[in-house]
Every structure is written in structure tokens, then in C-alpha cells.
Amino acid sequence: MGVAWLPSWLVKPDILARRVKPVLVGMKLPPLDVYAIFHIQGRGATAMRAVLDYLAAELPAKLV
């Protein structure tokens, strides 16, 4: 048992199933920078670019 500061989209199923209870309602984390470092010409660069493009599009919507 304890307190964790987790994104709502991650724990929503647990909240709905009443396995966890929100206690820090209304509090927001400060902005967080996310970095990815990879060699653009390395093996798998196309796949890595696809993952980064997906995350860049999806994460801002999940952080609300």
C-alpha cells in the first residue's frame, strides 16, 4: 500500500475496477522533457522513426 503519482490513462481501468483510489486529484506534474537518441543511419532507423513519430503524436493527447 502506498501513494503513486501515475498518469490517469495508465490507471483508469484500476480506478474503474476500484482496485485503486485517486487521492491526488487535481495535482499536475511539471512539464517533462523526453529525449530519444539513435543513429539515423543505423539498422532499424525506419522503425525507430515510426515509433518516435507515433509517440510524438499520441503522448500529448494522453497527458491531459
38 CB neighbour count, 10 Å cutoff: 12
Q: What is residue 15's predicted lDDT score, i.e. its pLDDT?
A: 93
Q: What is the pLDDT of residue 13?
A: 94
CB 45 within 8 A of CB 38: yes
Q: How many CB atoms are located within 10 Å of the residue 16 CB?
A: 9
Q: In the chain, where are the structural domains located?
A: 31-64
| Residue 61 confidence (pLDDT) | 63
**For the chain (length 64 residues), average pLDDT per consecutive 10?**
82 93 81 75 80 83 57
Transcribe the chain into DSSP letters: -------HHHHHHHHHTTSS---STT--PPP--------TTSTTHHHHHHHHHHHHHHHHHHT-
